[in-house]
């Protein structure tokens, strides 16, 4: 469809969001990502039955871990759509970007740079 979405969104392809684990999301933030979001199938329509539901639980868990550490839980979230909904994908990408811009850069990024 040749729609464009914000260039700061880097996509990591997985066969199912069920493959995304807590430590993957956490490490992304640790290494300086300003935000992480998982985009999975609509609930009830997971290609592998329940993968997206498991991802939802993990995303919620990571949000609470971020709070424990002292970071904003909103940096991580879950979106659901069907694979045919390209415009929705773009809308979510824009929404997430705006959300993160409001929160500001990942505070850990500065510290990682300073260390270098």
Partner 1 sequence: MIVAKRKPFDEIMDLIKDHKKVLVVGCGTCVAVCLAGGEKEVAVLATELDMARKLKNNPLELESATLERQCDREYLAQLDNRVGEFDALISLACGVGIQFLAERFPNKPVYPGVDTCGLAVNQDVGWYEERCRSCGRCVLGMTGGICPVTMCAKGLYNGPCGGTNKGNCEISADQPCAWNAIYDRLKAQGRLDCILELTLPQEWKDTTPRTLIQPGYKKPEKAKA
Verify binding: residue 47, partner 1, rule CB under 8 A: no
Q: Which stretch binds partner 1 (CB under 8 A): 6-14, 62-70, 73-81, 83-91?
A: 62-70
Q: How far is CA 26 from the centre of its chain?
A: 10
Classify 12 in phi/psi space as left (phi over 0), alpha (psi -120 to 50) or beta: beta
Closer to partner 1 by Cβ: residue 70 or 104: 70
- CA-nearest of 7, 21, 65, 106 to 38 is 21
Verify binding: residue 27, partner 1, rule CB under 8 A: yes
Please select the residue that binds partner 1; options are 3, 69, 86, 101, rule is CB under 8 A. 69
Distance CA(116)–CA(114), nearest Å, equals: 5
Q: Which residues in this chain contact partner 1 in the complex, by CB under 8 A?
A: 21-23, 26-27, 29-30, 65, 68-71, 107-108, 111
């Amino acid at each position: 469809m040749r729609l464009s979405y914000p260039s700061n969104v880097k996509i990591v392809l997985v066969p199912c969001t069920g493959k995304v684990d807590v430590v993957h999301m956490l490490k992304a933030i640790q290494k300086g990502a300003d935000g992480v979001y998982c985009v999975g199938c609509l609930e009830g329509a997971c290609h592998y039955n329940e993968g997206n539901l498991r991802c939802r639980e993990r995303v919620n868990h990571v949000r609470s871990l971020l709070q424990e550490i002292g970071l904003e839980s909103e940096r991580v979230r879950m979106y659901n759509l069907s694979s045919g909904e390209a415009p929705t994908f773009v809308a979510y990408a824009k929404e997430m970007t705006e959300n993160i811009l409001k929160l500001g850069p990942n505070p850990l990024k500065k510290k990682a740079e300073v260390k270098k």
